[in-house]
Copies of this chain bind each other. A is one copy, B any other.
Amino acid sequence: MRAGTAVLTVDAAGMRAQNSGLLLNMIWRERQISRAEIARRTELSPSTVSAIVADLEQAGLVRSIGAGVSRGGRRPTLIGFCDEAFSLVGVELGASHVTVVLTDLRGRVRTQSKASHAVRGDPEGSLQKAKELIHECLDAERVPRRSVVGMGVAVPSPVHPAAPGKMSPLILPAWKNVDVKEWFETTFDMPVFVDNDANLGALSECFWGAGSGGEDLTYIKLATGIGAGHIIHGDVYRGAGGTAGEIGHIPVDSNGPLCVCGLRGCLVTLIGSTALTERARELMGTRGRKGPTVRDLVEGARTGDAAAKQIIDGMGAYLGIAVGGLLNLLNPAIVVLGGEISSVGEMLLDPLRASVRQRALSVSMAETRIVTSVLGERAIAVGAATLVLQAALRDRSLFPTQNVVRTA
């Protein structure tokens, strides 16, 4: 019944909020733009644009950055975004590690710290570890609390839109009684946004990676678990119960091994890190007493090891089944592969594309680019920070006030 309309009414103040948010976005996107150009593009009157820019300048969000080239008259004053006026905190709670990054408003990492930790079974310890790492980051750069906009947290669990702090009891049973959002909010007293790790990888790619342009995009995280995140109309899409993109348990081989989830031949049992290293041990032999790692596999593939190549070919074939379904069902503009193994690049993309071609309509294929991530291992933590940025660029009031940091 809902007709999908904005649910917010507007008064004079709301009008200003909307217009100024729009300007802020435009300045952020364009990096440098004159008032006159803004007025032309937005169809706002020059006087209004000036007034709003003055507001934003007052708030320390934008600043003049010199004159541009003349178009036959007075030279325009270029306005730029203050990329470093505020900081963002991104936290990644991985399966076995905690990563924290401190970024500026352009996604550049100022500091990062990382620690191994068994996150799965130890909520209290993980949160304490995260707290330490965050303090480490903030102290390292002497970042005043005032200049931090908020905190994004990536968790290795689907997140229900209605209860964003709660983990899935099936995937992280030990976290049953923890509310992650609440914990960070009370511990650090700032806005906190929580989302699934693959969803934030997708957001990261959309803002800083392959997706520049805001197109619909799907990110696939290839690691211990296999998960996907969708960006639709510039936003993370979570589905009705928050489990959109949980592709790890799509069955792709009816004769495959039994999975913990009860099904047979799940994607994760065939191309998850554990399966890959297992298979590598069979084909490549043990490396030291611990057996080959994913890194060894990548190395092997680079140096032309036939066994490594074979394993990655097989991975591409299986993954293609899931990606083929994805193209037919969702038809995204871009599919990005992330996770350590994706660094082999074409070596994985070739068999993947071949497999997809056998399963997707050529029409969907033609419209979709399939690529590997260029953002590296920090992608997800940065995506968490980006979630805060995205929210703040929409709602100016999230930026702390009275901040007169004149950096950059």
- Report A's interface with B, CB cutoff 8 A: 1-12, 14-15, 18-19, 21-22, 25, 28-29, 42-44, 158, 168, 170, 207, 212-216, 228, 230, 232-235, 237-247, 249-251, 261, 263, 322, 324-326, 328-333, 358-364, 366-368, 390, 393-394
Contacts and interface: CB of A to CB of B under 8 A. Distances in A.
Contact of A241 (B5, B22, B363): B363
Contact of A9 (B42, B234, B324): B42
Copies in the complex: 2
A394 B5 contact: yes
A214 B34 CA distance: 41
B1 A239 contact: no
Nearest to A23: B9
Contacts of A21: 5
A100 B242 CA distance: 39
A46 to B, nearest CB: 13
A25 B3 contact: yes
Nearest to A334: B240
Contact of A331 (B233, B242, B328, B366): B242
Contacts of A15: 10-12, 14-15
Given A216-B239, A329-B245, A364-B243, A2 B19 contact: no
A330 B329 contact: yes
Contacts of A332: 239-240
A239 B233 CA distance: 10
Given A1-B207, A9-B19, 8 more contacts: A9-B42, A10-B15, A15-B15, A240-B332, A242-B331, A243-B328, A329-B329, A329-B330
A56 to B, nearest CB: 15
Contacts of A14: 15
Given A42-B9, A330-B244, A1 B213 contact: yes
A10 B2 contact: no
- SS class, residues of chain A in contact with chain B: loop
Contacts of A331: 238-246
Contacts of A9: 18-19, 22, 42-44
B10 A239 contact: no
Nearest to A49: B9
A155 to B, nearest CB: 15
A234 B394 contact: no
A1 to B, nearest CB: 5
A3 B212 contact: no
Contact of A359 (B240, B263, B367): B263
B3 A394 contact: yes
A390 B10 contact: no
Contacts of A393: 3, 5
A242 B368 CA distance: 11
A6 B29 contact: no
B1 A22 contact: no
B2 A325 contact: no
Nearest to A237: B232
Contacts of A29: 1-3
Contacts of A367: 239-241, 243
21 contacts: A1-B207, A1-B212, A1-B214, A2-B213, A6-B6, A8-B22, A9-B18, A158-B363, A216-B239, A216-B240, A239-B332, A239-B367, A243-B328, A243-B331, A245-B328, A245-B331, A246-B328, A250-B325, A251-B359, A325-B329, A326-B329
B390 A3 contact: yes
Given A9-B42, A43-B9, A240-B333, A364 B246 contact: yes
A170 B3 contact: no
A362 B170 contact: yes
Given A1-B29, A250-B324, A361 B213 contact: no
Contact of A361 (B237, B243, B329, B362): B243
